[in-house]
Amino acid sequence: MNYYSLNNIAPNTTFETAVIKGLAPDKGLYFPENITALDPSFFDTIETLSNEEIAYEAIKQFISPEIPEAVLKTIVSETLNFDFPVVKLTDSISTLELFHGPTMAFKDVGARFMARCLGYFNKNNSNEVTVLVATSGDTGGAVANGFLGVRGVRVVILYPSGKVSNIQEKQLTTLGQNITALEVEGTFDDCQDMVKKAFLDEELTSKMQLTSANSINVARWLPQMFYFMFAYKQLKNKYKDIVFSVPSGNFGNVCAGMIAQKLGLPIKHFIASNNDNNVVTRYLKSTNYEPKPSVQTVSNAMDVGNPSNFIRIQAIYDNDFNTLKSNLSSFSFTDKETKEALEEIYQTTGYVADPHGAVGYLGSKSYLTTNKEAHCVFLETAHPTKFLDVVESVIDIDIPLPEQIKAVIDKTKVATAVNNYTEFKAFLTQL
């Protein structure tokens, strides 16, 4: 499989180069040259397959032959050594739990997969690769854990000061070894802009090999299609019209679900559930795509004012607005509505959601008002204990800390303050 830049200026390239470079030389995101649907029999019998078998069949066309079959199967197996259960809440709404991995967030899948791919490509390379990642919350911890101890790889994580939860901060600032955290005075968008600027800084790139572990990287983004398939495997014999409500920030998750749909997965519709950072909600109402500076919310991992992956979504639909809108709805919700949803979910079902899942739940309810035949599955993207200050302020219960959280909660934060690109570049040149 070759990949092309969505800016259509850079030459097409291999999966390996797309992973190592992260961003194309013309500043564009890489996208597969073609997507071949799987045989319908694959989905007809999907409930007979293991998660590892499903994931391997789904991903292999995007990677073969650059990673041998046996190695790719091992990568898939090591990536997916935890569960992805669907929990029914009502007759029309279920949730897909994506928080059973090592950092209790959905990004564990992409981070672990990418780390293993990069480790394979770098195994005989004497040059160190520096992975840059901007995080609005969960990406940093997942990447830190996924890349910890990977030979020949150094990870530098940028996060906005005061805009991630305490547990999220501990997960990305306490591991040491080849992981470094930079605390940025600003927003996630500021962090993301610094990363993108570094990729285009020839003075830097001439001296060091940089790549990204954000969902702009194809190896971080594509594996996210797996869990849509895992959910369908559990639901196909129960419901006909399955709709996914995806709490959306940088839009890599819902975009990966659309790739699964292109492969033939029978998904009826997608919902992009936004907080007050609602550029896509506004776009689908007006046809005017207008990024704005992000604002801070209680669902902080979605605080993105200029979602990088939306250009990939447009590419999937050949930049046809009407075709896109026929398969994607979007709703946005305030912090007040999010907190009310947390309480509603708990009071009516006994389920404790996190703020991002609550936004996904609200998106499901909004869609169901005019699509009563659907069964909506909202993605519970992180464990509620990662947002204890929000959840416990709404629901008057004590939530036990899982072992993954206990392992970091008492560790000492180690982070370097960075206030602008000049300081960030100076830090990188000293590595």
Has 107 been annotated as catalytic? yes
Q: Which helix (H) or strand (E) holds 30?
A: strand 30-32
- Using CA atoms, how far apart are residues 42 and 257, in angstroms rounded to an integer? 17
Helix (H) or strand (E) holding 190: helix 188-199
Question: Cα separation of 382 and 249, whole Å?
Answer: 14
Distance (Å, whole) CA 376 – CA 34? 29
Q: Which residue has the tokens 């180690």?
A: 414
Spatial CB neighbours of 292, under 8 Å, sequence gap ≥ 6:
277, 279, 305, 306
Residue 248: CB atoms within 10 Å? 35
Beta strands 179-184 and 209-212: pairing type?
unpaired
Question: How far is 128 from 352, CA to CA, in rounded Å?
Answer: 43
Going across the sheet that includes 93-97, the strands are 86-88, 93-97, 375-380, 242-247, 269-274, 328-332
What is the rounded CA–CA span in Å between residue 54 and residue 39?
13
Amino acid identity for residue 296 in this structure = Q
Contact present, 155 and 133 (Cβ < 8 Å): yes
Q: How many CB atoms lie within 10 A of CB 92?
A: 18
Find the catalytic residue in 21, 60, 107, 339: 107
d(CA 82, CA 227): 12
Active site residues: 107
